[in-house]
Amino acid sequence: MSTKTNTPRPDSLCHTLSQLDAFAEARGWRKFHSPKNLAMAMIVEAAELVEIFQWQTEEESNNVEACPEQWGNVQDELADVMLYCLRIAQVTGVDPIEAMQQKLQKNALKYPASANPARREPAPK
């Protein structure tokens, strides 16, 4: 017989959000976590992600996992950007999954696949 608990799975978004909030609380950072401050911090982290790829060719950027140090940096900076986005969602009351699903639907209407001329061209090699 299995027992159900209210504890989120360690790999779930709910668990990550809970950890994120606990992290901020334990350090007394909640008072600094306004949407404005978090958005600015997220942009700084996004710039650090861009910096990794700044002078790479398309081919190099497509194969970044071949360099373990760079691959680790990409993972770290991407995680920073995502964590800030999630924290912004928390403090503004936005459900990130619902917001992304709604945005995907809007994009599908705005950019229908059938109207995209790039679909008719072969992918770059």
- What pLDDT, in 10s, does the model give residues 66-110? 999 999 999 999 999 999 999 999 999 999 999 999 999 999 999
Predicted model pTM: 0.83
What's the CA gap between 91 and 33, in Å, rounded? Answer: 7
Residue 80 φ then ψ, to 5°: -60, -45
Sign of CA dihedral 98, 71, 22, 47: negative
Q: Which residues of 69-90 are buried (b: 16+ CB within 10 A; e: fewer)?
A: ebeebbeebeebbebbbbbbbb
Find out whether 52 and 70 touch, Cβ atoms under 8 Å: yes
Per-residue pLDDT, 2? 45
Structure tokens at 28: 């007394």
